[in-house]
Structure 1
């Protein structure tokens, strides 16, 4: 038995219903493309007035303070809000949400945005190091703000390093934005905690940075994995009939993956562990991308 067969595989319960196509992967890649944060052009300059409205208790947790004018348009009345997990404040033309507790129930973050009239569903999720403090996934609907700006992320104080004392993740939303959003922001993972962002393990800052895995055999990739002191788990994928997309079938995850199987992508699973997306046979084209894998760039 080779060493590969003794390594853990992706759990069945994590695979149910998963499917992907080249178009979906391309859209996800564009949404989660790695950018320097805070993102540029996220702030504007519209006027705002303030009036203290008071404070209320939140289920025995920290008090939530709401500050705002009597009327501030259709989206709501508050210009600031605070609970045990998040502080939100309107600064100029931008709502700045400071995440005080990155391990809180995500409903607390969404509660804060709702209080200031924003339909933002925010989750703070364990992420691979390059994505800590950054937007690791986002779904949007509805129009952008009048100045064309959308949702961004950063740190407070600006430019600090996440993980250092006094450094917090921030999320910015233009005041004039009226859409709906589901946003995932990365936080540092706890020991042995699985990442919840989808990151190519070959990109800058990831565990297999600079190494080409696609269309190599499992044995070839494992040699590099071991050389870097890492481990691997496997996700056996089922290509679409035209090889333009793939699915994941639970019953195939128990297959004995051999060194001659083919790797189509590597993703960051958790600290020290990469996930290899594999098929038993070599295919005419990469089913994950419907063709050649895009270059690993920093943008």
Structure 2
């Protein structure tokens, strides 16, 4: 009997999957969902062996990407899945107990152009840094931009916790592993689904969420922002009629002198008790200006390097 929904978890093989797979299995089991783990083609033999053991222990199928990158890995996963509905879940995501069922119910009418997403939240068992709180809203997710009814469009398609019909993925050939191996791959998939299906009905599910079981640092984002700069340059070439908003914002931030107080605000942001470090407070505002300027300078530098050839 074919499962009604497949939970597909791509991984680069660098992090243990036990917690993420356990949460996915617990969420999928009540509705008869299947699990598929897909490993990046760039993973080494030891990483592949460990992931294979973890997948087997979780009762999950295993697939391997045809080329390195997040897009190719996700494609390998959904192509190995058997269900008509595919729930893509990142390997640092702990699905809520009812999340898989929520996605399945939201697709019960079989609408071919619907995609559902679940909001990620930080773990409750550790202190979330000021930088993590800022980068989540400023650069990574826009859940706060979605209205109370949860209905939005292709620009909010986040494949970290996203269900879409397999037939829709097949129609557009899945994610673009060649042009968008990492960075802007979600946006590109959302836009191509929108164009192919005559509009994409994206819905944020209040009961389809998960815990984002990861840590983010300024050092990590200094590397990531350069990958984003490269992806945005590709986006400009592939989708000239849909100019991104991030690049212009970061270029403006890089050109704007940063108040010296921002460096100190960023340095002490995590020394202030959470009740006093409001997101809209003086300290958080100055720290955010500093972080954005720091990352913007690297974004601009990478795009200039690319333009120079």
Q: Please state which band the TM-score falls in when normalised by the shorter chain.
A: under 0.3
Larger gyration radius, structure 1 or structure 2: 1
Specify which structure has the higher proportion of helix: 2
Higher relative contact order (CA 8 A, sep 6+): 1
Q: TM-score, normalised by structure 2?
A: 0.25
Q: TM-score, normalised by structure 1?
A: 0.26
